[in-house]
Structure 1
Amino acid sequence: MNAQANPRSTVLLEGVVGSTAYGLAHAGSDVDRLGLFAVPTEQLFGLHRPGESVVSTAPDRTLHEAAKWCRLALGANPTASELVWLPDDCYLVRTPLGEELMAVRRSFLSERAVRNAYLGYATQQFRKLVAKDGRGDAPPARLAKHARHLLRLLEQGVHLHRSGELRVRVDDPERLRAHGERLAQRPAEAEARLVEAEAAFDQPGALPSTPDERPVEAWLGRVRRAFL
């Protein structure tokens, strides 16, 4: 299966992410797609470089150019990183170059980046959970969504820190939903979950102190040669 980010680019890897990949989707959930693409290498040499991201709706779809996706993944961006760790049934496009990227996915990981990214994104959800918008509390469904995201990010991040594996699909969706509903009723208690996660990140884990950029550079070089 092939797809186009623009008339001269080629999608290398694409999948369904978000609630569907996590196992948390319900009847009204959006279906979000994420992928990465390569442009013809000659376009990188000119005065005006091609766009690095393409975002569209109907369906909701975000595509990043190969180099940008690598930078995001080296920073442990949770949304970008999950593209190479999805359950098999979530992939829509898997080219040979996409498979090669999946094979070196551990090279992107580093202890500090994972800690900062997952705690950082979870803290953003915590702030939304406890924030007032000037008109009273946010709707309960929105609060529960923020709580679920917070819990998922902390569980994924700690598991990644301990094991070196990004587990996209949650183990027990019903438990996470129920826990999210409880935190939505008592948002301040979510702070304890952040403290627990920080303590877990303080313990020795399975990740290296820095990413191994050599396989990443080698893969990106193969992409550029393939599209010369």
Structure 2
Amino acid sequence: MHVLLSGIVGSTAYGLAGPDSDVDRLGVFAAPTVRFHGLTFPSESVVSTKPDATFHEARKYASLALRGNPTVSELMWLPTELYETRHPLGDALIGIRTSFLAARPVRDAYLGYATQQFKRLESRGDGSFSADTRKRTSKHARHLLRLCAQGFELYTTAHLRIRLDDPQRFRDFGERVAAGDIDLARRMMADYEHRFDTATTVLPDEPDRTAAEAWLRSVRAAFYDA
């Protein structure tokens, strides 16, 4: 596969990594265009472990990004030093990253995903569980807060901040929730839901699908003879 863009994402990118954290990688690749001319299309995603890495084919990547998928979208907003591969078409993708943004998909993706995660936290009870489960719950909770904070900033500024300004705030939040303070997470969720409902967004109603389509066609043209 032809890797167009790849980099280190997840806890390392956010500034939340600890001694036991995995290094997660995400990328977008282009399959040779001729592979789409037959009965069987190429794989849409390639996933590996040790190291943990997920690569999406260009069409799937663009489709997920147009829906506001938080995990996929962050690849286009990484700090420069976290990129490991930057093909010219990967740079072109970064250049149109705001074209994938729209108010409703961003709100639904970030706040919606956070709500689903909160319900999982809520079902775990009062914090009276094993040390291993508490560790996972702490990580779960801090990423819950991260989703809300990043999503709201993206919704109101059209900019996705990957590296968190105050990582300790997120760690402290995770520890308190893991210790049994589910109400803290509940209040945080209610606060961000109110913020989303009352804030003025700078995002358009619909993403710029024309720009995404033009980028994908340029990818297909570039690898037509591959």
**TM-score, normalised with respect to structure 1:** 0.92
* Distance apart, 1:67 and its partner CA: 0.5
| Residue among 50, 53, 63 paired with 2:55 | 63
Does 1:225 find its partner at 2:221?
A: yes
**TM-score, normalised with respect to structure 2:** 0.93
User: 141-150 or 12-21: which moved more?
Assistant: 141-150
Does 1:16 find its partner at 2:18?
A: no
Structure 1 spans left out of the alignment, 5+ residues: 1-8
After superposition, give the CA deviation of every residue in 1:128-182 in whole Å (9 maximum; x if it has no partner). 212239xx74621111111101100000000001100011111101121112211
Q: Within 5 Å, which residues of 2 pair with 1:167-186?
A: 167-185=161-179, 186=181
Identity %: 54
Q: Within 5 Å, which residues of 2 pair with 1:1-228?
A: 9-132=1-124, 137=129, 139-185=133-179, 186-202=181-197, 203-228=199-224
Tell me how large the CA RMSD over aligned residues is.
Answer: 1.3
SS in structure 2 of the partner of residue 159 of structure 1: helix
SS in structure 1 of the partner of residue 202 of structure 2: coil
How far apart, in 2, do the equivalents of 1:16 and 1:214 lie? 28
The amino acid of 1:122's aligned partner reads A
Runs of 4+ in 1 over 6 A off after TM superposition: none
SS in structure 2 of the partner of residue 13 of structure 1: strand
How far apart, in 2, do the equivalents of 1:132 and 1:147 lie? 12
The amino acid of 1:119's aligned partner reads L
* Distance apart, 1:184 and its partner CA: 2.1
How far apart, in 2, do the equivalents of 1:131 and 1:142 lie? 14
SS in structure 2 of the partner of residue 199 of structure 1: helix
Q: How many residues align?
A: 218
SS in structure 2 of the partner of residue 14 of structure 1: strand
SS in structure 1 of the partner of residue 161 of structure 2: coil
* Distance apart, 1:74 and its partner CA: 0.5
How far apart, in 1, do the equivalents of 2:115 and 2:81 lie? 30
